[in-house]
Amino acid sequence: TCHMGVAFVSTLRSVASWFVPVVPEVRVAILRTVLYLFVIIDIHLFVRDPIPLSRHPELYQPLMIERLFQLPPPSVPLTITLYLILIIGCLVAAANVLPRLAGVVVAAAFTWWTAIGMSYGKVDHDHLALVVALWVLPTVGVIADRWRSVERSAQAGWALKCIQISVVFTYFLSALTKIRSGGWSITSWPDSSILMWAIIRRPHGLGQFLLPYPELRHVMQWLSFTAELTAVVVLLLRGRALLAAAVFWMGFHVFTVAILYIHFAPTAICWLAFAPLERLGPWLRRVKARRRERTGGR
């Protein structure tokens, strides 16, 4: 019984250390800056239509989150206010100033903004990881020395782990959705002609060259589906194996852009939660030192 108790406690500690690893806080400081600046890009390039859409209340179909919190229907004054809050809040949060207050404000405003943008007939799953990231980053609080911090904490590790899980589950849940839409048949989606339909629907890019090759399209669908279904394995990888997985998924997103002009930029940027960002500062300082040496200190 004593040995079982020790084993149980050891297992709990292992699980806790996986969910709440102690990592350098500078990772969160850098990731904050990148993600909050990306949100400004996102509301101009990707989810950019809440303001014009709010002029058509007859088309508005609120998502569950809007119904759950009884959010008012969008209007032009409301969406313009959200836009201004996001711009100001992101600039403040990107500088790691008032990280809790500014972060929560940005998280709430961006969640509402994206909900509005996706309440008019099309819901994209590529924003899952970004929305989760915006909600968990404020939990870390103030980071001393910001981008030069040498502190390590479990708070930073927990926030990064949440983002990592949401990145991976973006793919895994996509695979489950494909299985469900095919009547819970695991072969329905990969054996279908969905890629041909998508290429015909978007007749541009390199996808048109795949139309004469149905066998190749089916192989590509099976590879994509299998990768999504097994994406959770990424959470167990370390070192070069994790790097290989990241390169694979970045290549996957480049491929979908080239073939279908479908991007996953919000998901792709959140892959930085897996990266050892604390190495960026020392690397930049070494680059600057080498330049000074070559120029003779000028």
- Whether 251 and 257 have beta carbons less than 8 Å apart is answered as no
Task: Give the confidence band of 96 by pLDDT, cuts at 50, 70, 90.
Answer: confident
Give yes or no for residue 271 having a pLDDT over 70. yes
Quick one: pLDDT at residue 122?
A: 82
112-136 burial: b if 16+ Cβ within 10 Å, else e: bbbbbbbbbeeeebbbbbbbbbbbb
What pLDDT does 4 receive?
Answer: 63
Average pLDDT (109-128) is 93
Q: What is the mean pLDDT of the chain?
A: 90
For residue 171, count CB atoms less than 10 angstroms from its CB and return exposed for 0-12, middle for 13-18, buried for 19 or more: buried
Cα three-residue angle 217-220-225, rounded to 5 degrees: 125
Strand partners, 152: 24
| Average pLDDT of span 173-190 | 89
pLDDT > 70 in the chain, percent? 96
Listed range (23-37, 136-150, 235-249) with the worst mean pLDDT: 136-150
Give the pLDDT of residue 7.
65
Task: Read off the pLDDT of residues 207-251 as tens digits, 9 standing for 90 and up.
Answer: 888 888 889 999 999 999 999 999 999 999 999 999 999 999 999
Tokens of 282: 């020392």
At residue 155, does pLDDT exceed 90?
A: yes
Residue 3 pLDDT:
62
Which residues are CB-contacts of 9 (< 8 A; sequence separation ≥ 6)?
Answer: none
Is the pLDDT at 297 greater than 60, yes or no? no
What is the Rg, in whole angstroms, of the alpha carbon atoms belonging to the chain? 22
The average pLDDT across 279-286 equals: 80
Q: Residue 298 above 60 pLDDT?
A: no
Label residue 260 by pLDDT band (50, 70, 90).
confident
55 — pLDDT class (breaks 50, 70, 90): very high
Alpha helices by DSSP H, listed for the chain, are: 2-19, 26-45, 50-53, 64-68, 76-94, 99-117, 128-136, 154-181, 194-201, 214-229, 239-260, 265-270, 280-294
Q: What is the mean pLDDT of residues 135-139?
A: 96
Write b or e for each residue in 52-90: b if 16 or more Cβ atoms lie within 10 A of its Cβ, otherwise e: ebbeeeeeeebeeebeeeebeebeeebbeebbebbbebb
Say what the pLDDT of residue 233 is: 96
Give the Cα separation of 32 and 27 in Å (integer). 8
Q: Which residue from 8, 219, 264, 30 is spatially nearest to 129, judged by alpha carbons? A: 264
Predicted confidence at residue 186, as pLDDT, reads 87
Residue 92 has pLDDT above 60, yes or no: yes
Q: Which residues contact 278 (CB under 8 A, 6 or more apart)?
A: 24, 26, 27, 30
Q: How confident is the model at residue 8 (pLDDT cuts 50, 70, 90)?
A: low
